[in-house]
Structure 1
C-alpha cells in the first residue's frame, strides 16, 4: 500500500547522531519493512535541538520504502508559546498545499494529535479525496495548554485556543479511525468527536525499541565518562527539561539525600532552557548532568540505573508517557509523581511506584526505601519480561500496521 504519515516534531532516522526514534519513527520503519511505500511528512525544524535540519523543503531517503519530506517551518524556542502555534500552522499549510497540488494519492493517511492544525488539514484532505484517515491521540492538546502559561496571559490564551479546540473536534469527528495511546486518551478523542462511528477505534500503547546488547559497545566507558563508578546506586532521569517536568522538585530531593554518598543522581537531557537549575544542580556533589545523550548512552545509563524518575508537575497532562516504556525496556524501577493510569499500571505489574502530591521529603524517603528493597535491586529481569511480553515495539507496531491496512481496506476486525 501507499501510506502517507503526517507527523512533525519527532526525531528522524536521518538526523545526526543516534536519534531515539519515537512513535512515528517506529511506525514508519515498521510500515516500510512490511513493504508499504511510506512517505513521512515533517518539518525542517528539530524539536529537540531547536535547530533546523536543512534550510528549505527537501526529500530525504531513509531506507527501502521510506521517504521523508521536510517542509520549511519557522521553529520556536519555547515548547509552550504562541510561536510554536505559528510553526504548527505553517507546517499544516505546507502539507495542505503539497497534497492539493500532488497527483499522487495514498491508500490511507495517518496523522497525530497534536498537532491540531495538521490533524484537521489531513482529515479534511482525506474527506475531499475520499481517502481513509487514522488519527492517533498522543496528547490532550490543546486542553492543557493554558495551565502552563503565565497567569497574565491566560485570559487571552483561552480565547486563542478556541480555534485549536475546533480543529481537534473536527479531526476526531471525521477521522475514519481514532487510535489512543491509552483508554483514557481514546475516550478523550471520542468525546471530542461527538457523534462519530467508533468501529475502527483502537488503543495501541506507546512503547520503545530497546537496543540489542551487541549494539551497546563500550558501556563501561560511557558510564565512566558520566562519573558513574562501581558501588554507586544510580537514580536517573532522561528527558527534556520542559514545563511538564518538575525539576525543582528533583533538586530539593537531591538536596535531601546529600548525606547518602552511595546515591548518585544522573539527570540527562538538554537543560539549556533552565540555566538557573543547571547551576543549582552542579553545586551538588551527588548530581551529574551529562546533557543531551544519544540512544546508546541512554541504554548504558538505564541499564545501570536502579531507579528512573518521572517527576511531572501536578497539572501535567501525561497519562502513560514515553518514559514509562523507555525505563521499562531496560528494567529500571520507576518512581513517578503522576497519578491516574500510571498508578494502575504500577499496581498491576510492580514495575514502579506512583506518589502524586508527595513532598520532596516523602519522595526522598521513598527512594531510600526502594534502594533498600531486594526486589528493586534484583527485579530488573522480571521488569524486562513485563516489557517484552506486553509492550515490545515490534509486537505493538506490527499490530498497528495491520490495523492501518484494515482501515485502508475497509475491514473491521
Structure 2
C-alpha cells in the first residue's frame, strides 16, 4: 500500500519520537511505501532545509526508507502573521503541482495544523477517489482567535473567516478524523458539523518509549549534562523540556521559582530546576536562569539525552500561559520517564492527572498557584515517590507505544481496505 503523510513543519533530524515519524516508521515496518510531504522551509530554524540539496527528482530518502517530498513556499520570520499563511498557500499549490504527476497513493493522512496543506491533501484525495484522514493536532486556525487580546478578537475572527471555512471544508470532506486526545477530536467533529462514527478515532501521542535510569544510561549524555545530574543527586529535580512558545513557556516556571526564592520558608539548597529547549525569548530565559543559583540551562536535547535526564528527574513542568487543552509530546515524555506533571493544560491531561493522581493541575498563567504547588511537592517527597510509581503503572497500561501506533496503522489499513472494497463492489 502507498501512504502519503503530510506535516508541514515536521523536523527531519532528531525527530524519531514525533507523531508523524512514528506513524511512518510503523507503516514502513508493516511493509507499506510511505511518502512524507513537508515544507521546504524549516519552521524551527527559519531557514530553507539543507536536505533539499540531496534530493533526487524532488525526493529525499531517509535511512529507514521514508521518502520525503518538499513543498515550496516563501518562508517567514514570525510564527504568527500573514507571511506564514502566504507560505502555506504556496506550499499547498506546489503540493498539487507535484502530486498530479506521481503514482497515486492508496490513502492520505494529513496533519492539522496546518489547515491549508491539509485541505489541499483532502481535495487531491477527493478528486482522485482516494480515502483521506485528517489527524487533528491543534485547533487551526481558530487558535489564533482564541489567543488574541479581547479588544481585537472580533477583528481576528473576521480576518480568519475564509480560513475557518477552509478548515471546516477539509474536515467535512475527509473520510474520517483522528486526533491525539478526545477534546481535539470533539473540536474537529464540531467544526465539521457532524457526530462521531466508528471511523473517527483517538490515538494518543505515545511519542516516547518508557524509560528509566537503566534503559536511559548516563553514557547517553555529554560531560556537562552528567555533571549537572551529579550536582542534582539527592535534591528535588523539577524539569522543563521542549520548544518555548507563546502558549507553553518556561518563563512562567522561572517566575514561580523566583517567587519561591524570596520565601523564607523555601530552602532552595534542596532543589534543582532544569530547563531544556529553545524558542521564543530564549535569551531572556537564559538570563534569568543564570540569576537563580539552583537553576540550570540544558539547551536543546536529543531524544536519548531527554530520556536520560527526565528519568532522573522528579517532576515534569508543563506550564500554560493560557487556558487550553493540551496532551502533547512534552506530557508524554514526562509520563514515559515515570515522573508526575505540574500541569496547566485543560482537557484529557487534566482529567487524567486528577483521576489517576499523577501530578497537580494548576490554573494557566497563575504564578502564585504554580509556586505553591512546587513548594508542596518539595515539602513532601513521599507524595512525589508515590506519584512516580503510579505514573509508571499508568504508562505501561494505557500508553504503550507499540500498541498505540500498531492500532493507528491498523486503522489506516482498515480505512484504505474498506474504501477499496466499496469502490470495487460499486
Fold shared, TM-score > 0.5 on shorter chain: yes
Which region of structure 1 is more displaced relative to structure 2, 391-400 or 222-231? Answer: 222-231
Structure 2 match to 1:191: 190
1:244 aligned residue (228, 233, 247): 247
Are 1:137 and 2:143 an aligned pair? no
Q: How does 1:1-400 map to 2 (within 5 A)?
A: 1-12=1-12, 15=13, 18-54=14-50, 58-102=58-102, 104-149=103-148, 156-195=155-194, 198-210=197-209, 213-214=214-215, 216=217, 218=219, 221=223, 223-226=225-228, 229=231, 230-258=233-261, 259-271=267-279, 273-315=281-323, 317-357=324-364, 359-371=366-378, 372-377=380-385, 379-400=387-408
Q: Identify which of 403, 410, 416 aligns with 1:408.
A: 416
Q: Which moved more, 1:355-364 or 1:39-48?
A: 355-364
Separation of aligned partners in 1, 2:153 and 2:282: 22
In structure 2, the CA distance between the partners of 1:282 and 1:271, relative to structure 1 (3 Å rule), is farther
Q: Aligned equivalents of 1:214 and 1:301: distance in 2?
A: 12
- Identify if the C-alpha distance between structure 1 residues 199 and 142 changes in structure 2 by more than 3 Å, giving closer, same or farther: same
Q: Deviations over 1:322-368 (max 9, x none)?
A: 22211000001100122333221112222211111574233222212
Question: Shift of residue 254 of structure 1?
Answer: 1.2
CA distance in 2 between counterparts of 1:345 and 1:211 reads 18
Provide the C-alpha distance between the structure 2 equivalents of 1:120 and 1:162, rounded to a whole number of angstroms: 15
Question: What secondary structure does 1:319 align onto?
Answer: coil
- Shift of residue 3, structure 1, vs aligned partner: 0.7
| Equivalenced residues, count | 406
Deviation at residue 153 of structure 1 after TM alignment:
6.5
Cα distance in 1 between the residues matched to 2:370 and 2:95 = 46
Report the Cα distance in structure 1 between the residues aligned to 2:249 and 2:64, rounded to whole angstroms.
41
Deviations for 1:142-167, whole angstroms, at most 9, x for unmatched residues? 11213445678755533332222111
What displacement does 1:31 show? 0.3
Structure 2: 5+ residue stretches without partners: 262-266, 422-426
Cα distance, 1:52 vs. partner?
A: 2.7
How far does residue 8 in structure 1 lie from its aligned partner after superposition?
Answer: 1.6
> Aligned partners of 1:257, 1:351: CA distance in 2, in Å?
23
Deviations 1:363-385 (A, max 9, x none): 22221222314141354344123
Q: Is the 8 A contact 1:174 1:196 kept in 2?
A: no
Q: Partner of 2:36: helix, strand, or coil?
A: strand
Q: More displaced, 183-192 or 361-370?
A: 361-370
For 1:47 and 1:21, locate their aligned partners in 2 and report how far apart those are by CA, in whole Å: 18
Closer, same or farther: CA 177–343 of 1 in aligned 2, 3 Å? same
In structure 1, the gaps of 5 or more residues are: none
CA distance in 2 between partners of 1:132 and 1:407 (Å):
7
The 1-side partners of 2:90 and 2:39 are apart by 9
Using the size of structure 1 for normalisation, the TM-score is: 0.90
Closer/same/farther in 2, CA of residues 131 and 217 from structure 1, 3 Å limit: same
Q: Secondary structure at the match of 1:380?
A: helix
Which aligned segments of 4 or more residues in structure 1 are displaced greater than 6 angstroms?
150-153
1:118 deviation in Å? 1.0
Q: Distance in 2 between matches of 1:133 and 1:269?
A: 34
Question: Please, what is the CA RMSD of the aligned residues?
Answer: 2.5
Secondary structure in 2 aligned to 1:240?
A: strand
Report the 3-state secondary structure (helix = DSSP H, G, I; strand = E; otherwise coil) of the residue aligned with 1:275: helix
TM-score norm. by structure 2 comes to 0.87
Question: Is the Cα–Cα contact under 8 Å of residues 79 and 242 in structure 1 kept in the other structure?
Answer: no
Conserved 8 A contact 1:119-1:167: no
Q: Decide whether the 8 Å contact of 2:325 with 2:346 is kept in 1.
A: no
